[in-house]
Chains A and B, each alone.
Chain A
Amino acid sequence: MMRRSLGRKRGCSLLMVVLTALTVALSGCSSDKAGDSANGSESTGASTEAVTSSADSNAASSEDLSKLIVGIPQDIDALDPHYAEGAGTREVLFNIFEGLVKADENGNLNPAVASDYTISDDSTVYTFTLRDGIKFHDGSLVTVEDIKYSLDRVRGADSGEPLIKQFSKVDSVNVVDDSHVEVVLKEADSDFLTQLTVAIIPAANENPDTNPIGTGPYKYVSNSPMENFVVTRFDEYWGEKAYIQDVVFKIESDSNRIVSDLENGTIDMMARLTSTQVSQLSDQFDVYEGTMNLVQALYLNNAVEPFNDVRVRQALCYAINPQEIMDFVSDGAGVEVGSAMYPAFTKYYMEELNDVYNPDVQKAKDLLAEAGYPDGFEFTITVPSNYTQHVDTAQVISEELKEIGVTANIQEIEWNSWVDDVYTGRQFEATVVGVDATTLAASAMLSRYVSDSSKNFVNFSSADYDAAYASAQATNDDAEKTKYYKECETILANEAASVYIQDMPEYVVLNKKFTGYVFYPLYVQDIAKIRPAQ
């Protein structure tokens, strides 16, 4: 008996040691992952996923057309626009804050807080004229000091640590007179205007993280985490005022409830639904079909065999039929792309590149034979498992490639591992994913193909491309810049940097009581344009 009880005691302490070790090891793992996902999410994909949790259902009957309830998939992560990370937060804050310039639905940058601007010939000095009489939500007038304060805050003038990386280019922000501010850059950048959509906030506001004050068409009312985010119309807005008086952004974290919440009137609008969800809705809704503004492609690692041979890459382009993929995955919805540019960039998108490779099995086989793979080869497509559309696309590709004797195995991996292994580590042969743009500059899509770019995860390397891209960056003439960017796109298509497929379809559902939804080439929801149907 003595021995037994002694044994039990030792057993317990051993167990304690094992468990402690395990806890430490596991918690170590998870914190690593969190960091990685943060830096991966800025560059890739547009998520329709939602995390499960309880959501409040204060089902307001929306006969009152002065109120609109919009479903959003996740919480607002920060009320301070300069610290807001998530695309889901930025799309809501778009209604509250404005920058010196503001994007419109056609992808143009229009003056907002500034009424006019001039750019010096060498693209280093941007001078803005403050809009006359423009007011913040608290009723105070916007001053040039507020502009300087906001821009200095973003570029981290005090801390030396810019909140937005691109603002490290700013040398100084100077107040010229009562109505003019100039932004001086360290180096020429003719695309810098796209960055100046960053929010202008009042210098006098001491609590920008709890009391957001901007100049947009809607002003902040309240924020209840996991519940809703409420805004109301700003009646002293400088531009065209919003139609709807009160707007509630309701957190719809359980994607399985979206359809029933729409049907019973708990929400009036929801963006980024799947075609399956849309097909379950009754006819009291208008469905707006747009695109997600990204380039979905079978991204090939240009540095590994056999994809280091341009003929192999071209063969895959001939074998893979984007239209067939769209037919299978989204019932034909989606817009074909032939290069790394999606159609919302109307100025740069080249529709003719879709026809560089028309489906041609024989030509694909010939190219493979020429490259030394007459009997095909085998490779693995690594797909992030949380994106059903990408996994489905990979399945169709795998089936199409059988025609030319190429075996494509599919390996699903979890999103954080995808960011680590594929995107950052570049340890992959091929992957299906969507790449989007964070600003309205063409460089947001094209800079990643420059040979030494840190975002060049496909390891594309072409001297011609680098030269064309550098020329585009160097010139200040818009027409010439566009010409060079188009040359870049053409090189990507001809060199078959990857197999470009489509800009994926997106569905926005709006109750028929309302109308006027517009798609933007960026990840935003412009509520000010929505109005009662009658």
Chain B
Amino acid sequence: MALSITPGEKYGFFTDTSICIGCKACEVACKEWNGLQADNSVFLADSFDNTGQLDSEHWRHVKFIEQVPDAATSIGNGQAWLMMSDVCKHCTHASCMQVCPTGAIIRTEFDTVFIQQDVCNGCRNCISACPYSVIGFSSSTGTARKCTLCYDRLQNNLMPACAKACPTQSIQFGKLDDMHAVAAKRLDAVKAGGAPNAQLYGADDLVYGGLNAFFLLMDKPETYALPNAANSVLPARNNLFGYLGTLLTAAVAVIAGLVALRRRTEPSPRPVPETEPVASAPAAVEPAAVEPAPETPTPGRRRGRRRGRKG
């Protein structure tokens, strides 16, 4: 049956990590569809991971988290070797979008977050803002890049390449409401199967207002290097105190400057030693050293002079 993807509806991914087998078919499909550069595989000494991270050329990345316990674990617990196909979360409250100065990062008609490549000028402000380390700078395009949630495929009623390629249906794509219902049902089943720590991440609005790419995790978010709900804060939170601190400093600095730079036209009260070379060497007095012509005294200057005497 042909997929019908309607503009104006919210779409997203539900990634069920409990059935991810780490095959990386999603990574390959993503690279192939989006024309991302292949890279020389390197040994990272990090489990089965050989791409390392999400960045400008890796828009899907399978994380392998080995935490083999010392003691035997119960059957079906499934916490010894965690796998998770990570991707841009397409946050409802997107940090990257909040700080983009060019307006290159937009929300599409499918409620996904998209970087317009012809608008982005490569300032990289979004990279320092994304709390998921999703966005990377591409030296080949000179722009910031990340998962588009296959925007071009959605416009043509095609599901995203990664979801299409996933052999275990760990990655599911659909209307967000439908995905939430599927996820809730799946969570119940996984918990009933003996995984008490299983939880949904980003299905509710506690994490960045809700994620259009949300997850069923087998452990707490921090285990997967994901900020928890308490840490889901936007960059703009620091505007208020940052500017207040600057304003306060500016006020103090200006007052300090006004105090320090008050004019005192009389000579320094401390006498100049007789060995003063300037006094005996006229050549040392350069033309520029000639004191500026005295100005017409103003009330302000007179006040300054009086203060100078007091000091």
* Chains A and B come from one and the same complex: no
Residues of B within 8 A of A (CB): none
